[in-house]
Each structure stands twice: as C-alpha cells, then as structure tokens.
A and B are shown apart, each in its own frame.
Chain A
Amino acid sequence: MKKTSTVEKTNWPITILLIIGCLTVFFPLYMAVIIAFKKPSEMTNDIAGALAFPSSWGFENFREAMEVTDFWNSLGNSLLISISTVLLAIIIHSLAGYAIGRNKAKSKFYNLAYLYIVSGMFVPFAILMMPLVKQTAQMGIGNWVGVIVLYVVFYMPMNLMLYSGYLTNIPVALEEAARVDGASTWRTYWSIIFPNMKPMHATVAVLTALSVWNDVMTPLVIMSGTAKNTLPLAQLNFQTQFGTNYNLAFASYLLALIPILIFYLVCQKQILNGVVNGAVK
C-alpha cells in the first residue's frame, strides 16, 4: 500500500531546491546580459550596482561589438567549418563504420584497422599540434580547409566506434535481400544501410557539432596566419581591442553564445539523446 503512495506523490522539497539551484546556471548568464547592455559609466564596484539592471536597454554595444569583432564573418566561418565537418563526418565515418564494422569480427585486417583508428582516441592534441602546424602549412591547407580535415580525422575514432557498434543492430540479411535483386554493395549501402543508421547520424551530428563549434585550440594554431576567425577565436583575438571596455566585450560574448543557445532550444531533445548515446555506447 505504501508503494503506490510514494510513486504518485510529487517530491516538492526537492523540486523547490532544484528550482533554486537553477540560479547557479542562470547567474553567470544574467551577469553577461546586464553587462552587455550597460554603458561603461554604469559600471560600479558596489555589489548592488553591479547586479542591477542597466538604465536602458539599447543595442549600441552589440552594434559596436559586431563591427569590432567582424561578427558576421566569424559567424560565417564557424558555420562553414561546423556544417562541413558534420556532413563529412556523417558520410566518411559511417562508411568507415560500415566497411570496418561489418568485417572486424571475421577478418584480422579489419580488426586491426579498427583498433588502429580507435586507439587514436588517446592521442592528445598537444602532441600533434606542433607537427600539424608545419604539415598543414606545407600542404597549403593552413586555413579553414585544414581545420575541417583535422576535425574529420580527430573525431573518427569516436564516431567509428559509434557507427560500428550501431551496425550490429542492423541484420546482414537486410543487405542480402538487396544483393539477390542485383544491387551492388555500394548501392545497397546508400539505399538500405545509410537510411537505417539515421538515429546514429543524429548522435554523431550533435556530438561533432557541439565539439567543433566550441573548439578553440585547433583553429587557434592552424588558422593563425590567415587573419580569419571562428566565433570563439574572435573573442580571444580581440581581447586587446576590448581593453577595459567590459560592456563591449560582454556584448560580443553574448553574441558568441546566442547561436548555440538557439540551436539548443530548437533541438534540445536530440542533443540530450545524442550526448547520452555517445557516452554510454
């Protein structure tokens, strides 16, 4: 009898604690918003003044920040790099997952190929960084192209693992039926296997997009000579221009956070599922 009552009842104390706890998430964001709207003359050192609303909600800081950091170009570069990487990851990594995952149980070669790529997960970027700067420059891809190529390589171990793991759920019999109808392996892949891996594509897309969008280190070292910025990189490179004008800087930070927040609001469910799938599988 006791059981049913505990199942039904809402635990209000915990609900309320959790709602109050949301402050830890919102406080830094709140600070970012109010500082971004304030004028330098409104910045005070006493705590009440620092936490207060700005006297007016004008968009002057944002307009200026967009100019200083070349916002639209940085945003464009970030979008270009993230979208290209995600598309390439879905195509290349799923193909690799298919070819290697389907054969690694019975073929030594494919099993070795699998272990070789997956063990790349343990290689820290710090050790590759310096040789890669030289190498990409020599190859003429010391720019956004090189950054995309590197991302495709860096996320391969993780994504290969995810795809080949997911493939065990898709029976080989499905392909055999198509083969009997005379379709080539290549066509069978695109018409049957690729569409069937749709849930895994979503996971890979979410995980890859989040990491690429927020990454600073790769574009920092590879693109440093090109005068081009990604959105996070612009924040780093324009620190000196911001100087002590925190209002301008925070308007710029907020602009850098908004795209990913919108993405999260729209695809929250897919993102949460993707992150869990990626970690647990």
Chain B
Amino acid sequence: MKNDRKRTFMMITIPVLVLFFVFNTLPLIKGFMYSFTNFKGYGSYDFVGLRNYIDLFQDARVGKSYLFTFKFALVGTLIVNVLSLIMALALNNKIRFKSALRGIYFIPNILGGLVIGYIFGFIFTYILPAAGKAAGIGFLSNSWLSSTKWAWFAIVVVAAWQSIAMNTIIYISGLQTVPEDVYEAGSIDGATGWTKFKSLTFPLIMPFFSINMVLCMKNFLMAFDQIVALTNGGPAQSTESISYLIYKNGMDGGQFGFQSANAVLFFVVIVLISVFQLTVLGKKEEQL
C-alpha cells in the first residue's frame, strides 16, 4: 500500500519534471549557449566568447531600450498603484451599485492588450489632437505617438488603463481583511482621513501592496503587446522595450546570438529586481 503511494507520486512527478525541463530549462540553456556565438538565426556560426556581452554595454540601441523600459516600468508602477489604491478605497466605501461598479471597473483587464492598443492608437492619433485643437490646448493638438518626447507616456496610459483594474481588486480584497473594530478603535483616538489611512489602513494592507508592486513591475518590464500595437518601437526607436527589441532584432534582424546575450542580461535583471523587491517589502512587512 505504502509502495503504491510512492510509486504513483513518482509516476506523476517524473513526466512533469521532464516536460518542464524540455520546454523551459533546455531552451534556457540553449539561449545561454547561443549568447556566446555570432549566430544569425540561420547558417553556420562560431563561438565568440564574451564579445556579445561586451558589445551589449556599448550598443546605444540596447542602452536606450533599457532606459525606456525602466522609465516606463517605474512611472507605470507608481501611477497604477496610486490610482488603484484610490479606486479601491472608493469602491470599498458605503456606495450604491457596489458590485456593478466593481464589475465595470474590471473590464479593461480582461481585454487583450493588442486590440486595446489599436483602439487607443486611434484615439491618440485622431481624437485627442482633434479635442486639443477644439479646446485650444497646444500640448494636445499633435499626436503623442509621433512625438519622441511623449510616445512613451501614451504607452504608460494604455498599460495603466489595463493594470489599474487588476490592482484595484487586489487592494479591495486587502481592504476587506481589515476588521471593522480597528477603525472603531481608531475613530475613538480621533484618526480620520489621511491619518487614518496612513497609520491604520495602509500598514494593514501592506502584504497586498507588496503583491501589487511585484506583479505590476514585472508586467510593465515585460511589456510587448501595447508597444506592437501603438508604436512598433518608434518614433526613432524611442519606445523599444527590451522584450520588443529582442523579438525584433533576434527573430528578424539576424542578431540571434547578440539578442540571446541581451535576453540573458534581461533575465538576470528581472531576477535581481524581484529579489530586491521581495526582500525590501518583506522587511517592511516584518516591521509592522
């Protein structure tokens, strides 16, 4: 009987591990190997040692894509978390039509990033400039998407529109874990408004803040769909995210080896950021 149990567990686990190895670890190892070659994606190739990695740090386009991705992810995460906290506090209030409103505000999250990107692309190209001209606001009367200064922010807006929905319901579920008597005790001590939020609510939903920071940051760092739909990396390569550049030059641009090195670097960066976030936020949680 005991053996049957052990054998069954093994017979499940081994195939699962093999499957995971073949389609996750193996390509990871291959990608790592390609990063030391000058492989174009076709034909023969040679090992070039660390050449690709040295070139990465001197390549202006790669540098630009890292700057764009970090700026995009930091600003996006900040905007999304501030707005979704406000939304969650509002939606958790004593309001009418609560479930209908929560349902509506979640819609952006279920829709695909690509199609949403196309729809917003039209709005940024035609509707917003038309509105800007009608209202006489010069800043709006040209399309953001054709401006090297503002195109990145247009992408932030679209990505945020979708992520806020997700982060809001996570914050709402966090707010619901705060027991009512904490507020009662707080109101006796005279805590209202901002003080109440800062010293009572926020510390209690800290774990949810951590989840949201990590999730949101990761999604923004890996942005792809919205960029394909809105700008294709332009204008003047000002909105190329790292994923987009790896896809574009690695798959079509004959830089398979070089972009593999870029992907390895990106992987290391993602791991470092996640570890950093988890330790910092974990410490904050412990203190509370």
Contacts and interface: CB of A to CB of B under 8 A. Distances in A.
Given A96-B13, A130-B41, A179-B1, A15 B112 contact: no
Nearest to A133: B251
A213 to B, nearest CB: 7
A174 interface: no
Contact of B115 (A125, A156, A256): A256
Interface stretch (B46-54, B74-82, B241-249, B280-288): B241-249
Contacts of A122: 267, 270-271, 274
B9 A216 contact: no
B17 interface: yes
**A interface SS class:** helix
B20 interface: yes
A120 B90 contact: no
Given A124-B266, A275-B169, A235 B118 contact: yes
B170 A276 contact: yes
A227 B9 CA distance: 41
Interface residues of A, number: 92
Interface of A: 3, 6-12, 14-15, 17-19, 21-22, 24-26, 28-29, 31-32, 35, 45-47, 50-51, 92, 95-96, 98-100, 102-103, 110, 113, 116-117, 120, 122-135, 149-150, 152-154, 156, 179, 184-186, 189, 210, 213-214, 216-217, 221, 232, 235-236, 246, 249-250, 253, 256-257, 260-261, 263-264, 268, 271-272, 275-276, 279-280
Interface of B: 1, 4-5, 8-10, 12-13, 16-17, 19-20, 23-28, 30-31, 34, 41, 90-91, 93-97, 101-116, 118-120, 122-123, 126-127, 130-131, 133-134, 161, 166, 169-170, 173, 184, 187, 208, 211, 215, 222, 224-225, 228-229, 242-243, 246-247, 250-251, 256, 259-260, 263-264, 266-267, 270-271, 274
